[in-house]
Amino acid sequence: MDSRKRRLDEENVKNETCSDILHKKTSSVSSEEQQCMEKEKSKELKKRADDYYKKFLKNVPSQENSDFVKESSLPNFNLKNNNNGDVTGISEGNSQNKLNWRNTIQNELRLLLRRKLLLSFAPNESLEEWKSNYNSLFTSLESYCESSETKIFMESCSKTNYFENLAHKIYEIQKELRKIKLARLGEVESPGNNEASTEEENVSVQDADVKISQD
């Protein structure tokens, strides 16, 4: 009786051990596969961000030829390394910060980027003059930029993706305003007269009003 009980206990221990080993092996493989997937996804995201930003800069015309903002007025994504090998400016930080990248974005930086979004609507005017002349429109655009930046901030999967999406948003705004401007100028009967010149000077602010009403 005792020997039979002993054999049953040994079989149970053996079965439990095999089950534990199998579980550990499965968990290990799953973890390794997940790490590989995350690593590949990170590489793909960084490559896509770099490729898009290079393409984005090529598609931004100079200030002399359009109402688009200059490259110098965009957020600075070109990060430099100091002598210690650390990244200065906006950096990805250590692995812990990468997991909590939103905690590394200061409110001052977010306010600055919202201002960049706002400037993309009227790059030829100062915000102070714009606000004094078009207070109601300015308030609407300010609210629009705040909600747009907040949405991008919450939906982005990394700091790199956050800046990429902001750059894309600025480009989309400028591209849309350009289309609206060309449509409005096409309605002017005499492009060479004074009325047409006035229309072209004010087109940035008025087109911004059109875009907000569309959104």
In a domain, 8, yes or no: yes
In a domain, 65, yes or no: no
In a domain, 129, yes or no: yes
In a domain, 46, yes or no: no
Q: Lowest mean pLDDT: which of 38-42, 58-62, 94-98? A: 58-62
Does 122 share its domain with 209?
yes
Kindly report the backbone phi and psi dihedral angles of residue 78, in degrees, each rounded to the nearest multiple of 5, phi listed first.
Answer: -85, 95
Rounded-to-integer distance, Cα 56 and Cα 166, Å:
11
Rounded-to-integer distance, Cα 197 and Cα 64, Å:
16
Mean pLDDT of the chain: 64
Q: Lowest mean pLDDT: which of 101-110, 157-166, 198-207? A: 198-207
In a domain, 59, yes or no: no
How many domains in the chain?
2
What is the structure's pLDDT at 130? Answer: 73
Q: Determine the structural domain holding residue 22 and report its residue range.
A: 1-37
With cut-offs at 50, 70 and 90, classify the pLDDT of residue 146.
Answer: very high
In a domain, 47, yes or no: no
Whose CA is closest to 122, among 60, 203, 213, 58?
203
In a domain, 80, yes or no: no
Q: What is the pLDDT of residues 48-93, one digit of tens each?
A: 655 555 554 454 443 333 333 333 333 433 333 344 333 333 344 4
Rounded-to-integer distance, Cα 73 and Cα 84, Å:
29
With cut-offs at 50, 70 and 90, classify the pLDDT of residue 209.
Answer: low
Does 110 share its domain with 33?
no
Does 110 share its domain with 215?
yes
Does 112 share its domain with 202?
yes
What is the structure's pLDDT at 121? Answer: 81
Tell whether the model's pLDDT for residue 168 goes beyond 80.
Answer: yes
Q: Once rounded to an integer, what is the mean pLDDT over residues 14-35?
A: 55
Q: Is 85 left (phi over 0), alpha (psi -120 to 50) or beta?
A: left
In a domain, 147, yes or no: yes
The 3-class secondary structure across 66-79, one letter per residue, is: CCCCCHHHCCCCCC
Residue, of 149 and 185, whose pLDDT is higher: 149
What is the structure's pLDDT at 75? Answer: 40
8 A C-beta contact, residue 174 and residue 59:
no
With cut-offs at 50, 70 and 90, classify the pLDDT of residue 29.
Answer: low
Q: Once rounded to an integer, what is the mean pLDDT over residues 97-124?
A: 81
Burial-class residue 161 by CB neighbours within 10 Å (0-12, 13-18, 19+). Answer: middle
8 A C-beta contact, residue 77 and residue 163:
yes
Does 116 share its domain with 210?
yes
Does 120 share its domain with 201?
yes
Tell whether the model's pLDDT for residue 47 goes beyond 60.
Answer: yes
What is the structure's pLDDT at 84? Answer: 39
What is the structure's pLDDT at 149? Answer: 93
Residue, of 27 and 131, whose pLDDT is higher: 131
Residue, of 51 and 25, whose pLDDT is higher: 51
User: Which value, to the nearest 10 degrees, does the dihedral of the CA atoms of residues 159, 165, 171, 177 take?
Assistant: -130
Does 206 share its domain with 110?
yes
Q: Once rounded to an integer, what is the mean pLDDT over residues 151-158?
A: 91
